Amino acid sequence: MSSQPLNVNEDEIAKFEQVASQWWDLTGDFKPLHQINPLRVQFISQHIAHQTGGTDSKNSFYDIQMIDVGCGGGILSESLAKLGANVTGIDMGNEPLNVAKLHALETGVSINYQKITAEEKAQQSPNTFDVVTCMEMLEHVPDPASVIQACSTLVKPGGLIFFSTLNKSIKSYLLAILAAEKLLKIVPDGTHDHDKFIRPS
């Protein structure tokens, strides 16, 4: 393991620890993630099918090694595992991981959940995964570029990496913070910090 400081923002971890019990509440704080998840799974499925030369059916996922970086309570991880992928989910929040493990146990889904940073996992398991996902996580760490580099180390040559994060723009401030947090209360106030959003450059 590296002696470098962990690429973790403890305040961000604490935010998600406090609301971890709501992770699988379809009408709670994580409702937007549940709503977008089917689109994500479909998008990922189509790209895996294209990569493997098949269709976007369940068969495309068998023997696929996947890692979900910043998996939280396991919404995406579970969906991908149910399609037949061998999924590892990593996160640095104890409570979200506990919720993810319990929900997987309740639903009978086999997922390897680990408390480890992307950088540490990349040192342990370079070039291991056919597919790497990192959704809505980059804006919650001090050094997003380090996570991106770790993801590129985790993926096998010719594999797929999927990132999703909030663009740093006036529109994202208006939608993600002013509308979603302040006015409509779709997500908890303080979930996002516009200064941590990332410009696509």
Q: What angle do CA 191, 79, 87 make, to 5 degrees?
A: 95
Residue 6 has pLDDT above 60, yes or no: yes
Q: What is the pTM of this model?
A: 0.83
Tokens representing residue 84 in the block = 């037949």
Q: Give residue-wise pLDDT tens across range 51-90.
A: 877 665 556 788 899 999 999 999 999 999 999 999 999 9
- Other C-beta atoms lying within 10 Å of the C-beta of residue 127: 12
Q: For residues 104 and 74, is the Cβ–Cβ distance under 8 A?
A: yes
- Domains of the chain with bracketed CATH: 10-165 (3.40.50.150), 168-196 (no CATH)
Handedness of CA 111, 116, 118, 119 (dihedral sign): negative
Q: Give residue-wise pLDDT tens across range 114-169.
A: 999 999 999 999 999 999 999 988 888 999 999 999 999 999 999 999 998 765 55
Tokens 């010719």: give the residue. Answer: 158
Tokens 């937007």: give the residue. Answer: 32
Q: What is the DSSP letter of 24?
A: T
Q: Band of the pLDDT at 173, cuts 50, 70, 90? A: very low
Which letter, b or e, does each residue of 91-119 get, where b requires 16 or more Cβ atoms within 10 Å of its Cβ? Answer: bbbebbbbbbeebbeeeebebebeebbbb
Q: Give residue-wise pLDDT tens across range 37-51.
A: 999 999 999 999 888
- Residue with the bigger pLDDT between 179 and 63: it is 63
